[in-house]
Amino acid sequence: MTRLLVECTYVFQHPKVNSGIQRVVRNVINQLPETVDGVQCIPVAMFKGKLYRVLKLGPLDNPFFNGLMAFGGRLERLAHRYHQLHQRLDQRCTSQWTRRALYVAYRLTAVAGFSVPLRLIDQLNRYHLPKRCSPLQHQPGDQLVLLDSSWHADFFPLAEQLKRDGVGIVSVIYDLIPLTHPQFYDTRLVQIFNEWFDWISKIADGYVTISTTVRDQVREELHRRVGPAKADTLWFDYFHLGSELDLSEASAAVEPRLTRLFATSEPVFLMVSTIEPRKNHGYLLDAFELAWAAGSKARLCIAGRIGWKCDALLARVREHPELNQRLFMFNDLSDTSLEHAYSHASALVFPSYVEGFGLPLVEAMQRGLPAMGSDIPVFREIGGEFMAYFDLAAPQSLVDLVTHMENTGTFPAARTVSEWRWLGWREASAQLVKRVLRNLKKAPVAVERQHADCP
């Protein structure tokens, strides 16, 4: 074994995207140690059938180019939403001729409005590549760590060639939710993720997840897909994510509407996540409507970009009688504004049906903000006795937590969040590398504490 090649292709190509996995990848790469136990760690990207060493993960110091890339990112998201709209309309059409006409209109608009501009932006991007990366020759014994969201990638043939050339493959898996809970996603994404997992189950030598909960799920899924004999030749491990908001700038301005929200004395309960079905915002609204009906003055602040399958939820928020009174929504907060929200809220509320980790919980609690979450295994793994938990089958259970805190001024958890400790991104990145290496070297694994009071 010579080197760890840590892949970050999507984030390299979309440096302005700052949600979920992209935040993890950026922080792990930016904190990646140069060497661990004599093994060199190299960030890499793969595109156009070639392997590149990443010299600069973030955008260049070029306002015009960065603005163009940001526009390209927004255009990609708009293209995705347009595709979702077409799918919904297509499903409602009963006439074959109407569906055909709708498809022709969709293709003409998609090509002229999205595909052509995005291709031009991609061509311009190629001129700047030498400033951000350089070709890298792989070597037998290298280990390729697929850290980024590779189910969207087109580098599968290259990865397979590297495997044939003696490069080991390690897959980082964030969750299996598209497989275990497909109802929360578009059919096409579920299909893509399933095809990707079939591919990764055949090519990877080992798997690193972001929680013990997901590690056990991946091991079970591999046993099911490839059989116990093959699965038992593979290795499975995990690492935990850090907590710093690396794009927060002390000199940057906080969203004025957010500042006004926290300027009064009433408690504010904060929800941070992409707005999509499995995050369960509807449960949150149900609970707070019950609390408001009972006389609570608590306010609910929803922060997160707009995702998918959320039209009904967005309409419910935008038409809500408490909007901008006791209910607030922000869809494009900067890290600076998010830092302000974490620092001034009364508690975080996180009612997800299922998670691979739950990064907002760590971000909040590391800043001393207590967290209430749905009673699911991964939240117990992260929060232990420092969190308060509610029953997703009973919104009143969350109401009881909110009103208890509002009436007593104390947070209803067994242990105080001030005693809670967690690792930062530097430690998280080093932990990932060390846990890959210990499996590659077949080092004995010590018995470890997995919960929140021990990094």
Q: Among positive and negative, which fits the CA dihedral 438, 443, 448, 453? A: negative
pLDDT (mean) for 294-305? 94
Tell me how many degrees the CA angle 259-263-266 measures, rounded to the nearest 5: 125
Average pLDDT over residues 53-59: 87
Question: Within the chain, which residue ranges are assigned CATH 3.40.50.2000?
Answer: 256-419
Task: Provide the CATH number for the domain formed by 256-419 in this structure.
Answer: 3.40.50.2000
pLDDT of residue 447: 39
Query: Average pLDDT, stretch 35-52?
Result: 92
Q: What is the pLDDT of residue 374?
A: 96
pLDDT in the model for residue 69: 64
Give the residue, 351 or 114, on which the prediction is more confident.
351
What's the start-to-end Cα distance of the chain, in Å?
28
Domain 1-242+423-455 has CATH 1.20.1050: no
What's the pLDDT at 102? 81
Between 155 and 168, residue with greater pLDDT: 168
Q: What pTM, to 2 d.p., does this model score?
A: 0.78
